[in-house]
Chain A
Amino acid sequence: MKRSNHSLLQEFDDSIMTPWFTYVPAIQSSTVAAGRWIFRFDNNHLLQSRQAAKVCQYFIEDDEDEMIDDVLLSCFNCMQRRWLVDGFECVGLPVNKPLAE
């Protein structure tokens, strides 16, 4: 597995990721907020990492040496997770979201 369900990306509703990720807007203009998707848990929460990856259509298998979960389909094994001091952010989910009215 390198990438799952890539052909469906256009239809992906990123709000389904919110049980596991918090969207943090960073730069705001009149119509667009570019921000970051931060994993809500720490890097010991294997179950949550696997649940999130199971529904995510942006998963890309990382180098085998960088994986830390024995179950392949896990955000912890995804090339698009960027480790933080106590967790990770996802750089694969869309970061331009319309601002709430």
Chain B
Amino acid sequence: MTTTWLICIDDTDDIGTKGTGEIAEEIMHLIEAKSALSSVNKQGGNRATWVTRHQLFVHPDIPYTSHNSAMCFELESDLTLDQIKQLCIVHLVAESAAVADPGLAIVDKHSLSADDCQKLICFGVDAKQRVKSQHDAYQLAKTVNVDLSEHGGSGQGVIGALAGIGLRLSGNDGRLKGQVSVGLSAAVPSVLLSVEHITEHCGLDGVMDVNGHMLEGHEQILLSGKVKAVFHRHLFLLLVHQVPEPQTGALQWCNALRQQLKKY
């Protein structure tokens, strides 16, 4: 018997300390290692699992370190809520910065009703645009049965942790933590791959251009630099844009620039 868990953490870092995304990824791997089944994103052994990064509101009243983002992931596990929570807390407490205010949110995704999901999504979207309080977060968590807890400092991170759950549920927010592995190295600074190859071998669901159009499987993408993806329409998508080829002027699909990724 397995459960699909959504887990989100926020406010764990400080300047010069390990990032929240890295801690989230470590927790995910810890839980996977202890579980009979691993991530829901793994299919056929070559599909990676992804932590998503969700940008929240930046405002003078919010005590974030430098960027105010929450990190969320989804996985399937046979562990109980108590077991998962314990793994999360031990790692959070060990790895969070001394001055951080870590928050942790855990929920059985399939236990949420459509109304619960809507409330969580609204909270997440709201937390991108205005200041929310810890009281707001705890109230909602109680209503929709999300396990929400704080682990040091002011505990302010519970707001982002709950918001991250809502934004992940929305299916239309965030960038994927880390880079998509396409075989680049110092010796291979760029590579031309088809959409089909990318979806089969890189753990992504598709390729989308910066205007929101999905690319066909046969189309070729020139990949170089940092290859990053986004979470959109409940899919993990490589974001691309078109650039004129220097010699011929023909338009070539390339992986998106960071400035194009930042709105996700």
Contacts and interface: CB of A to CB of B under 8 A. Distances in A.
Interface in B225-264: 225-226, 257-259, 261-262
Given A63-B21, A65-B19, A65-B53, A80 B178 contact: no
Interface stretch (A6-14, A15-23, A27-35, A81-89): A81-89
- How many chain B residues sit at the interface, stated as a range, is 20 to 34
B22 A80 contact: no
A36 B230 CA distance: 33
B16 A60 contact: yes
B198 to A, nearest CB: 20
B151 interface: no
Interface stretch (B3-11, B37-45, B62-70, B135-143): B62-70
| Most A Cβ at <10 Å: residue of B16, B53, B66 | B66
A66 B19 contact: yes
B66 A65 contact: no
| Most B Cβ at <10 Å: residue of A62, A66, A81 | A66
Interface string A49-67: 0000000000010111111
A63 B22 contact: yes
A44 B259 CA distance: 8
A96 B178 CA distance: 37
B175 interface: yes
A95 interface: no
B177 interface: yes
19 contacts: A43-B262, A44-B259, A62-B66, A63-B21, A64-B179, A64-B226, A65-B177, A66-B69, A67-B226, A68-B261, A68-B262, A79-B16, A80-B15, A82-B64, A82-B66, A83-B67, A84-B58, A84-B60, A91-B66
Given A60-B15, A68-B258, A91-B15, 20 more contacts: A46-B259, A60-B16, A62-B66, A63-B22, A64-B178, A65-B175, A65-B177, A66-B69, A67-B226, A69-B259, A70-B258, A70-B259, A79-B15, A80-B15, A80-B66, A82-B64, A82-B66, A82-B67, A83-B68, A85-B58
